[in-house]
Structure 1
Amino acid sequence: MSRRRLAAIGALALGCGGLLLALVVAVQEFPRGLIALACVAAAVAAAWYGVVRGGSIRVAGLLVAALGLAAALALLARDRLLEEALVVGALLLSAALARVAFAQHVWLPSRPAPQRPVLFYNPKSGDGKAERFRLADEAQARGIAAIEFGPPDWDLERLVRDAIAGGADGLAMAGGDGSQAVVAALAAEHDLPYACVPAGTRNHFALDLGVDRDDVVGALDAFVDGGERRVDLAEVNGRVFVNNVSLGLYAKAVQRSGYREAKLRTLLDTVPEVLGPGGTIDLRWRGPGGHEHASGAAILVSNNRYRLGRAVGSGTRPCIDDGLLGITIAGAPTGRGSRGRLPQRPWREWTAPAFEVDAGHPVPAGIDGEATQLLPPLRFRIRPGVLRVRIARQHPGASPSAALPDGIVQGARALARIAFESTTREQQWTSSRWSRRSA
């Protein structure tokens, strides 16, 4: 029996068992369960009230939220601590096994390896990963030239163009996602194969490409015996980005001088300015129906759609080759055409090949996590299939959310298929699906 099938059976058994035990406890402890739920709802409301305000009001709101959660835990854990621990443990283990069952390791078509590939690396990125793993030496051992990017020469674009002019026929970048975007843009411009080496801090692009973020050195094997496929890039006002562009709350936070040293505190300090009384963001955009709106708390435009608000795989992109921007508006929009057009949800998301945002002033933005200012109008567009990505054979080759269903019911059905259908049939379906995408 395959590892995926065993994981699927375990996930189904533990999930059903955990839910059944939770139902038994809830029935036996009525009405305390409903009271605990009310405490949780009050805690969430108090936390939100505190976060969007500052000073003593924030402290009071967060204190009430903490007390509400503590009351809920006390109500539920007083007599049934063992059962509740079993429920939580079963559900957490079920989710972990589901991730194993849905994990993909896809076959990518072979292409001739480049003869003169070049690796660009930032020795300080990711707390010095390039130096810690001796990437320059590892690259040279594989026949890959290594060029350091950093002080005193910070002009990465010029370094890459010089390498291409000197005959480089493959480009790799070991650094943060902002640097990845520079190298990927030039690789696409010259139709050269590109490899993403996860030597940055979070390596979001590598994760969604299917590169193993824990195998920094192994990513170099993409230029030795790797598979290849084409993915999309996106741009705003001509500047390429590989992940996303944020406007509004997060963008204002990253502009502040202390953001890198204290990210959470800086973000919380920015919330009252944006969401508190009198807080506004002067951004205008059109929704999927063509109606004009003013922004809510934040706008996120991404290179393909992010999976948001899910228990598993949230914050990743199932694919980076569907030819569409992901557009997410957080907070309730206002303005002409808003009424009855976009529902009052925490966020609204849709996809489109292009998107435009206007304003009466330069717009603070975070492009792949880097702070900048953009002149309006901000014109976003997707560039389908322009980047040839090479990925090492030992790496997954697909996003961790590539095969994840969107909901619990769909997830249970998918787990049942993995558990009880033919392994050969599943492998054939996966192989043919990715062969079509890579063509």
Structure 2
Amino acid sequence: MVDAQAGMRTVVVANPRSGGGKPAHFGLAGRAERMGAEVWLIDADHDAASLARRAVREGAELLGVVGGDGTVAAVAAVAADADRPLVVVPAGTRNHFARDLGLDIRNPVGSLNALSDGVPARVDLGMVGPHVFVNNVSFGVYADALLDPGYREEKARAFAAVVPGYLKGEQGVEAGVDTPRGPVECPLVVLVSNNPYHVLTPRYLGRRFTLTAGLLGGIVLDRPPDTPPDLLRHLRSRLRRQEAPGPAGEAAIVWTAARITLHGPEKQLHAGIDGEPVTLPLPLTCETRPGALPLLLPRERPGIPPEPVLRRPGTVRAGDHHA
């Protein structure tokens, strides 16, 4: 049976190692092949981008990708440049991009339905230099942890090895970043996301309620916390209390922009792009590519929850009850 979107030649690039072997656990390759797609596996000799470029050269009209954010970003870059629709099948650990598309990240099988009956859509991509990101690019503690050779197997240990220097103020991002408050030199953390994260309510912290705003989200933690031992917990607590870019006394700065620039005396800077370690030349600019990525989405998907309506102190919503 050939189902792949009206007989279009379809190539699905799959990362068999994603999510600790999720593609095999859910039988995603076999299911995609039964739907008429060719499945090309990433291996030691063929990475996601090279397989996607080859697929386009050989006439693929529709691309698919099975994996986490890093794999998705690599194939999305090719799909956007070639203007080929992309089907995303979440099979990584976190799957932030797929989650914010409304896909079912707990059961990726349903996402394959887009191969036969997909709904077209377009979403933004982020760019840092020549690199595409679908979720975020990070600088600081997370980027340094990614450099640990054993990060994938022992994430907690990798973080534990780098966090103390940041907590003591001995380490930071070896660059300055332009913010609405002006340049911040050597911050602890810089996080630039493809569309802004929601940061005001704990339940949806880190969600993106749109991927079509044509804006980046910027988050900077510019000095170490006073007491909490958990740097990331401290960042979360700061963000929950902040709606606008912070005043001079706040440690966290949160804003949106079409372009965010980092600069400094060093020639290069470690970064994490969608969970993959890279080294980037300075100065560097993060930008947005509005509507750059064509997608086919399954008709049935959990969806994105409505963005919470924030209440001002002293207001009462309809339906609130008081004793």
8 A Cα contact 2:184 2:222, kept in partner: no
Q: 1:147 to 1:413 in 2, by over 3 A?
A: farther
Which of 11, 16, 19 does residue 123 from structure 1 map onto?
Answer: 16
8 A Cα contact 1:252 1:365, kept in partner: yes
Q: 1:210 to 1:114 in 2, by over 3 A?
A: farther
In structure 2, C-alpha distance between the alignment counterparts of 1:415 and 1:163, rounded to whole Å: 55
Post-superposition Cα deviations, 1:64-117, rounded to whole Å, max 9, x if no partner, equal: xxxxxxxxxxxxxxxxxxxxxxxxxxxxxxxxxxxxxxxxxxxxxxxx756112
CA apart distance, 1:332? 3.9
Residues 94-133 of structure 1: pairs in structure 2 closer than 5 A: 115-133=8-26
Q: 1:113 to 1:182 in 2, by over 3 A?
A: farther
Where 2:21 maps in the other structure, the secondary structure is helix
1:150 aligns with 2:53: no
CA apart distance, 1:409? 5.7
Q: 1:143 to 1:127 in 2, by over 3 A?
A: same
Q: Which residue of 2 is the match for residue 96 of structure 1?
A: none
Residues 233-252 of structure 1: pairs in structure 2 closer than 5 A: 233-252=125-144
Which of 400, 407, 423 does residue 310 from structure 2 map onto?
Answer: 407
Which of 170, 178, 184 does residue 62 from structure 2 map onto?
Answer: 170
Q: 1:222 to 1:328 in 2, by over 3 A?
A: same
Where 2:105 maps in the other structure, the secondary structure is coil
In structure 1, C-alpha distance between the alignment counterparts of 2:110 and 2:151, rounded to whole Å: 32
In structure 1, C-alpha distance between the alignment counterparts of 2:169 and 2:74, rounded to whole Å: 39
Q: 1:281 to 1:160 in 2, by over 3 A?
A: closer
CA apart distance, 1:381? 0.5
Structure 1 unpaired stretches of 5+: 1-111, 334-339, 418-439
Residues 281-320 of structure 1: pairs in structure 2 closer than 5 A: 281-288=173-180, 291-320=182-211
8 A Cα contact 1:125 1:176, kept in partner: yes
Q: Which residue of 2 is the match for residue 355 of structure 1?
A: 260
In structure 2, C-alpha distance between the alignment counterparts of 1:255 and 1:327, rounded to whole Å: 23
Question: Which structure has the highest helix share of the two?
Answer: 1
Where 1:201 maps in the other structure, the secondary structure is coil
Q: Which amino acid aligns with 2:285?
A: R
Q: 1:415 to 1:346 in 2, by over 3 A?
A: farther
In structure 2, C-alpha distance between the alignment counterparts of 1:415 and 1:379, rounded to whole Å: 45
CA apart distance, 1:141? 1.6
Post-superposition Cα deviations, 1:402-435, rounded to whole Å, max 9, x if no partner, equal: x12152569x978859xxxxxxxxxxxxxxxxxx
Q: Which amino acid aligns with 2:137?
A: V
CA apart distance, 1:384? 0.1
Aligned length: 294
Q: Which residue of 2 is the match for residue 371 of structure 1?
A: 277
In structure 2, C-alpha distance between the alignment counterparts of 1:406 and 1:298, rounded to whole Å: 28
Q: Which residue of 2 is the match for residue 226 of structure 1?
A: 118
Q: Which amino acid aligns with 2:295?
A: V
CA apart distance, 1:277? 4.8
8 A Cα contact 2:174 2:269, kept in partner: no
In structure 1, C-alpha distance between the alignment counterparts of 2:63 and 2:272, rounded to whole Å: 25
Larger Rg: 1
Q: Which amino acid aligns with 2:158?
A: T
Q: Which amino acid aligns with 2:255?
A: W
1:185 aligns with 2:77: yes
Q: Which residue of 2 is the match for residue 203 of structure 1?
A: 95
In structure 2, C-alpha distance between the alignment counterparts of 1:236 and 1:277, rounded to whole Å: 27
Structure 2 unpaired stretches of 5+: 225-244
Post-superposition Cα deviations, 1:149-177, rounded to whole Å, max 9, x if no partner, equal: 123x2332222122112211111100121
In structure 1, C-alpha distance between the alignment counterparts of 2:290 and 2:18, rounded to whole Å: 29
1:393 aligns with 2:284: no
In structure 2, C-alpha distance between the alignment counterparts of 1:133 and 1:171, rounded to whole Å: 20
Question: Which structure has the highest strand share of the two?
Answer: 2
Q: Which residue of 2 is the match for residue 327 of structure 1?
A: 218
Post-superposition Cα deviations, 1:270-306, rounded to whole Å, max 9, x if no partner, equal: 22212315444321122225x3321321000010001
8 A Cα contact 2:70 2:273, kept in partner: yes
Q: 1:355 to 1:138 in 2, by over 3 A?
A: same
Q: Which residue of 2 is the match for residue 261 of structure 1?
A: 153
Cα RMSD of the aligned pairs, angstroms, is 2.5
8 A Cα contact 1:305 1:327, kept in partner: yes
Q: Which amino acid aligns with 2:61?
A: D
Q: Percent identity?
A: 38
Q: Which residue of 2 is the match for residue 136 of structure 1?
A: 29
CA apart distance, 1:222? 0.7
Q: Which runs of 4+ in 1 moved over 6 A?
A: 412-415
Post-superposition Cα deviations, 1:364-385, rounded to whole Å, max 9, x if no partner, equal: 1111011121110111100000
8 A Cα contact 1:405 1:414, kept in partner: no
8 A Cα contact 1:195 1:220, kept in partner: yes
Q: Which amino acid aligns with 1:322?
A: A
In structure 1, C-alpha distance between the alignment counterparts of 2:14 and 2:316, rounded to whole Å: 44
CA apart distance, 1:190? 1.2
In structure 1, C-alpha distance between the alignment counterparts of 2:146 and 2:35, rounded to whole Å: 38
Q: 1:138 to 1:226 in 2, by over 3 A?
A: same
8 A Cα contact 2:194 2:217, kept in partner: yes
In structure 1, C-alpha distance between the alignment counterparts of 2:48 and 2:39, rounded to whole Å: 13
Q: 1:113 to 1:189 in 2, by over 3 A?
A: farther
In structure 1, C-alpha distance between the alignment counterparts of 2:278 and 2:165, rounded to whole Å: 19
